[in-house]
Amino acid sequence: MKKNSLGIIGGGQLGMFLCQAAKKENLRTIVFSTTENFSAKNFCDSYFISDFNDNTKIDKFIDSADFFTIETENIPKNFLKKIEKKKKLFPNSNIIEISQNRLKEKKFLNSIENIKTVNFKSLKNFDDLLKSFYLFNHKAILKTCEMGYDGKGQFRLSRENIGQFKNLNLQNYILEELVNFKKEISVIVCRSQKDIVTYPPVENIHKDSILRETIFPADISQNVKKNAISIAKRIANELDLEGILAIEMFLMKDNTVLVNELAPRPHNSGHWTMDFCKISQFDNLVYSIFYGNTRKPNPFKECRMVNVIGKDYSKKNNYQKKYNFYDYFKDEIKELRKMAHYTFTD
């Protein structure tokens, strides 16, 4: 029988947009959500609300769909492995596990020829932290290896605040050198067994470690553009990716590119592709899963995407009138929570 259903772990806005893309192809979507109210609830065909410990619900979810994908990388490994015993997961659990853990991710990235990240140190204790902080000239960020996102689990260190971390179990942290980059850019790559496509580099503006704005195209030289795309393709090939992967990068003052992070799923910096590309990041993920191929994105207009964060959501009516506005239907406004986004062109 033709495979026609997609299980999505996570029901946030990324899951919601993915459900919409799947619907265009007449596919069924089944969402696994750990929260009662979630963005994708009214867009999927069915859902399971459960925590990650309920094996009965997990088994039912796995039986309910043909193929599986994720909208967040923070999913317990045994859940991912359980899926792979019976069904195909896009991307595979090895790729998700690498991106779940900053230390694993950095080691993997630096193992690829001519790909580099910022300098970093894994830590065992406070003494290691002090030594590494000194080594990085007192300019460093302490980051949890797992479960950090949108700046959560990250601490910029200074001589004044470093003492606070004395009693922390530092084994699950890394220290990164704080770099003075020129710009932040990202590239989204989608790959199947047959082919590979990339979305052109975009420029990302962060505030308080959270993405505020994405600009397409990134204002970078042709050489930097080529290099960023080549880095993205080499990472995807090295991982033997089937599915989608976003690669966040720092463009340094000397035009070298450092890889910051991998996200093995659709990405916030790719939301503009829904309005200004022939084929969006969500469409391409669906194609790579169900048809085993990818399609050229064909971006057609310069544009910007702006995240609506926290209380800014109260200006919703205004945004709706002026821009392509996307509501995430969150149950509650929280500080630094991504509530919606909009795109526009000048």
Three-state SS letters, 154-191: EEEECCCCHHHHCCCCHHHEEEEECCCCCEEEEEEEEE
C-beta of 151: minimal distance to ligand AMP in Å? 5
C-beta of 149: minimal distance to ligand AMP in Å? 6
Token couple for 199? 């979305």
C-beta of 40: minimal distance to ligand AMP in Å? 24
Judged by beta carbon, residue 71 or residue 261, the one nearer ligand AMP is 261
Token couple for 115? 């790909």
Judged by beta carbon, residue 69 or residue 99, the one nearer ligand AMP is 99
C-beta of 267: minimal distance to ligand AMP in Å? 11
C-beta of 236: minimal distance to ligand AMP in Å? 19
- Residue 184 is which amino acid? E
C-beta of 9: minimal distance to ligand AMP in Å? 20
- Residue 309 is which amino acid? I
Judged by beta carbon, residue 209 or residue 293, the one nearer ligand AMP is 209
Judged by beta carbon, residue 112 or residue 179, the one nearer ligand AMP is 179
**Inter-residue contact 28 to 7 (CB < 8 Å):** no
Judged by beta carbon, residue 176 or residue 203, the one nearer ligand AMP is 176
| Phi and psi at residue 173, to the nearest 5° | -125, 155
- Residue numbers at the binding site for ligand AMP (CB under 6 A): 118, 141, 151, 176-179, 184, 206, 209, 248, 260-261
**Length of the chain measured in residues:** 346
C-beta of 245: minimal distance to ligand AMP in Å? 15
Is the Cα dihedral 188, 90, 268, 299 positive or negative?
positive
- Rounded to whole angstroms, the Cα distance separating 89 from 82 reads 10
Beta-carbon contacts of 122 under 8 Å, excluding residues fewer than 6 positions away, are 103, 174
The sheet with strand 210-216 has its strands ordered as 257-263, 243-251, 183-191, 196-207, 210-216, 303-309, 338-344, 324-327
Judged by beta carbon, residue 66 or residue 176, the one nearer ligand AMP is 176
Torsion angle of the four alpha carbons 175, 180, 181, 182, in this order, in degrees rounded to the nearest 10:
170
Token couple for 192? 């199947």
Judged by beta carbon, residue 187 or residue 279, the one nearer ligand AMP is 187
